[in-house]
Structure 1
Amino acid sequence: MNQEPTQLLASVRQFGIQLSATRRGARLARLLAVEQLRSWELAYVAEPAAQIVAELAANAVTHGHVAGRDFHLALFASGDALRIEVTDTRGDRLPRLGRPGEAESGRGLLIVEGLAARGWGVRLGPVPRKTVWAELALK
């Protein structure tokens, strides 16, 4: 019996880890992301990804921290995109882009915006969480 071949879904490589909402946890997030990208043979995007992870993790620690709660880092590589997600437990505090000469906060998101050629954004929930994500193009 001949059957038509079925189309395979693109494989998705995933990595996720819960980290303490401390400066040390934010640094560890950056280091682990770089190592994971190297293991996936995606070292060519490690530098911009490290910058994005550093900014999003620092924001989670600084603006999304709730005593006794961690933040979550996730990486997804599929097809032509790398998606970086950082989830914290302060869904009531949404990130805002700062502009030079304005308030002290929000400037790091300008770096994220500049590096994330495929965009960035915020997804709310489940309550009380929010996830800030950014996507890089894979060659």
Structure 2
Amino acid sequence: MTSNPPLPVRPLQPSGADQPRFPWHHFEMRFSSTPRGARLARRLAGERLDAWGIPYGSDTHDAVTLVVAELSANAVRHGHVPGRDFRLRLSAEGSALRVEVTDTRGERLPVQPPAAAPGAGPDVDEEGGRGLLLVSAMTDRWGWFPCADGPGKTVWAVVEVPPA
């Protein structure tokens, strides 16, 4: 098992109105494209968020770990190429937390979930298909871009952390 790299910390700006909430943090790791790899990505993301000052059980911690779980599960289920891993990147700077999950299957692209009618939820009889709907609901913005350094795509999501 790989040991956790030390947390890089950029000094905070001088105190003032525009002082960021978080110093700069970054975490990146590759995981096997298996359900076990997706679970490990979620658990390590949760530990890293806690180390960055976003405690277990907080709304932000729960939202970001849910997003990591959904995007990792999608990378395993829809972006799996035998013998290739997926990559998780987390970063925190200012008041924003960014999640990026990169897989190696570029031809299967994420689709923006349709806007549900007021009061209507996803079809509960449908198998799957709710992951990006959850990501859309739990984040301030999300999207994807093709990999510049090989096959695949990166799906990203940003959660803005409200002031304490």
Q: TM-score range by the shorter chain?
A: 0.7 to 0.9
1:81-123, Cα deviation, whole Å (9 max, x unpaired): 0000000001111012445349644321000000002x00001
Structure 2 residue aligned with 1:22: 34
Deviations 1:10-45, CA, capped at 9 Å, x for gaps: 752100100000000000010000000000111232
- Matched residue, 2:143: 121
Equivalent position of 1:32 in the other structure? 44
Give the match for residue 86 of structure 1. Answer: 101
Q: Which runs of 5+ in 1 are unaligned?
A: 1-6
Q: Could you list the runs of 5+ residues in structure 2 that have no partner in the other structure?
A: 1-12, 15-19, 115-121
Amino acid at match of 1:31: R
The answer to whether 1:96 aligns with 2:111 is yes
Q: Partner of 2:101: helix, strand, or coil?
A: strand
1:111 to 129, 134, 144: 134
1:13 aligns with 2:25: yes
TM-score, with length taken from structure 2: 0.74
| Equivalent residues of 1:123, 1:132 under 8 A apart | yes
Q: Which runs of 4+ in 1 moved over 6 A?
A: none
Q: Which residue of structure 1 lines up, in the alignment, with residue 155 of structure 2?
A: 132
Equivalenced residue count is 131
For residue 114 of structure 1, give the secondary structure of its aligned residue in structure 2: helix
